[in-house]
Structure 1
Amino acid sequence: MEKVLEHVHLDVYGNLLGETVCGSGAGPTVLLCAHMDTVDWIVPGREVIREGDVFTSSAGVLGADDRAGMAIVMAVVRNVRSTEFSGRLKVAFTREEEVGRYGSKAMDREWLNDVDLAIVVDRRGNRDIVTSRGQIQPFCDPAVGAFFEHAGAAAGMPDWRMVPGGISDACTFASYGINSVNLSAGYLDEHTEQEREDLRWVRETTNLILTALGMLEQQVERLFPDRLCQFGR
């Protein structure tokens, strides 16, 4: 992580944080987030089995929820300078999302204060753009979700769609008034021994985020006119 990010550190709760400036740095600040914990302990001595692009575990949970999200975030960071994104990227790998989002809740609000957009990668399946927790909590202005749909189409994947979802670290960031989305990380049957991960879907989500970042600077005034939206307040 220190090879591609600056100011890498563990915060007081054990979240792993870092950031980097891209281009002139004058554009938006985007947070990329995934969680480090898994729903259950990894079985000692288990084997990760690969058949084509699909990974499974020989015993217990695979742990793709949310290690796949972490892999996608790091792939984006390594490749972001191939896009036209100019701004600041912040990365947060959080603790204890599975037991109540304690890691994201414990993050320093000052570190999050300049974040314009939070992209969480912790959704099952593929091509989902989660923009709310059910009908309970909106995560972002509808224009932000529509922007990601447009980015998907621009990347040759027109079936990325806004959907409601469940609990994730996006709930935390949205509660602070930060426009947030939760994107598919490519796993299925999470929290079970049938959990599997499709590498093709990892590539698709990585491509979506890179495409969105490359398009973001031209959309800043429309998407973030006041930087922090008021939908969650």
Structure 2
Amino acid sequence: MGADDKNGVFICLECLKKYDSIKVVFFREEETGCRGSSEAVMSFFDDVRFVIQPDRKGDSDLITSIGYSDLCSDRFIEVIKSEKWGYMEENGLMTDVLTLKEKGLEFSCINVSCGYYNAHSDEEVTVKKDLMKCLRFVEHAIEDCTGVCPHF
């Protein structure tokens, strides 16, 4: 089914339709070592406030750290009010936002659950209400998080 990637693509496309000032990037080969994001031209992010990667299974994970690497500031977590939206801070695995942080992004990044389950299997599914919850959460972040929350 490919919901692992398709759900995030759907959210990005919906946001592109709704907002005049937004940037979206689609990286290749995240599953095999983040090859695309490791080749990112970092100047693309010069005027960005934060990065949200909707590429996490389930409906409630907000990945704010990976291993011993924090991805975002405490202030950003306060501003996005993730618990109000049913998201809980979790530690994640290798993904594109970590690669971007390692390449020098100095603002907050997160990876968020976007409603897919059983990724990379014959039983992979999307739960529409969980996908739409993520879309609404991303829209909230775009509309209500108007400042930059630095994170080095």
Length-normalised TM-score, structure 2: 0.88
Q: Which has the higher contact order (CA 8 A, sep 6+)?
A: 2
Question: Which whole-Å deviations, capped at 9, do the CAs of 1:154-200 have from their partners, x for residues lacking one?
Answer: xxx3x222111111111112222331000112111112222111111
Equivalent position to 2:112, from 176, 179, 183: 183
Which residue of structure 1 aligns with residue 141 of structure 2? 212
Contact 1:138 1:174 in 2 (8 A): no
After the TM superposition, which residues 1-233 of structure 1 pair with which residues of structure 2 at under 5 Å, given as runs?
Answer: 62-80=1-19, 88-134=21-67, 136-148=68-80, 150=81, 153=84, 157=85, 159-175=86-102, 176=104, 177-217=106-146, 220=147, 223-224=148-149, 228-230=150-152
Cα distance in 2 between the residues matched to 1:117 and 1:72: 16
Take 1:168 and 1:195, find their aligned partners in 2: how far apart are those partners? 20
Q: Which runs of 4+ in 1 moved over 6 A?
A: none
Letter in 1 for 2:90: V
Q: Deviations over 1:52-72 (max 9, x none)?
A: xxxxxxxxxx21111111101
Structure 1 pair 99/63, CA: closer, same or farther in 2 (3 Å)?
Answer: same
Counterpart AA for 1:94? F
Per-residue displacement from partner, 1:177-226 (whole Å, max 9, x unpaired)? 33100011211111222211111111100101111221112xx2xx53xx
Q: In structure 2, what is the Cα distance between the partners aligned to 1:212 and 1:115?
A: 13
Change (3 A) 1:198 1:68: same
* Higher normalized helix content (fraction of residues): 2
TM-aligned CA deviation for residue 146 of structure 1: 3.0
Aligned-residue RMSD, C-alpha: 1.8
Structure 2 gap ranges (5+) = none
Q: Is the 8 A contact 1:145 1:181 kept in 2?
A: no
Q: How many residues align?
A: 150
Helix, strand or coil at the partner of 1:90: coil
Cα distance, 1:151 vs structure 2: 5.6
Rounded Cα–Cα distance in structure 1 between residues aligned with 2:144 and 2:135: 14
Letter in 2 for 1:229: H
How far is the alpha carbon of 1:137 from its aligned partner?
1.1
Any conservation in 1 of the 2:52–2:109 contact (CA below 8 Å)?
yes
Runs of at least 5 residues in structure 1 that lack an aligned partner in the other structure: 1-61, 82-87
For residues 122-143 of structure 1, the C-alpha deviation after alignment (integer angstroms, 9 at most, x for no partner) is 1100122110113x21111122
Q: How many Å separate the matches in 1 of 2:82 and 2:18?
A: 17
Offset, 1:152: 5.9
Q: Which has the higher strand share?
A: 1
> Would the aligned equivalents of 1:127 and 1:184 in 2 still touch at CA under 8 Å?
yes
Distance 1:93 1:114 in 2: 18
